[in-house]
Amino acid sequence: MGKITIGCFSSLVGSMSLDFAIKFSDAAVKKGHEVDLWLSGNGTMLGKKGQSKFRDYSYLMDTVMELINSGKFKITNCEACAKARGIGREDTVEGFGVASMDWYLASAFSTDRILHIGGE
């Protein structure tokens, strides 16, 4: 088994890349791999508390919670990007890490594969 680090910079609404990142992470964890997911830019929206499950919107939180509870998945918001969007630690979902970009770099240097998904 191995570890993959994914960086995703695109938004929850208006982009399919976060959907892709979570579904790929789900498949990877189910196969026994470890996943570090770094969210930057508009990707930090995913960590916002209190999102509602509407049919026409991408709602990933159930899968994310399952992944977090698997113990093989870490998800971290970029602190600066989140704050720039009014998402402080107190607004962030339990289980999400909040860190500066060195978390992403450290993960990238200790991983087997990297997938960097750009923003909008």
Do 14 and 59 contact (CB within 8 A), yes or no?
no
The least CB distance from residue 48 to another protein, in Å, is: 23
Dist. CA 100–CA 105, nearest whole Å: 10
* 8 Å CB contact between 9 and 117: yes
Least separation in angstroms between residue 27's CB and another protein is 4
Residue 112 C-beta: closest distance to another protein, Å: 7
DSSP 8-state code for residue 70: H
Which residues contact another protein by CB under 8 A?
A: 2, 4, 16-17, 20, 23-24, 26-28, 30-31, 33, 112-118
Residue number with CB closer to another protein (35 or 87):
35
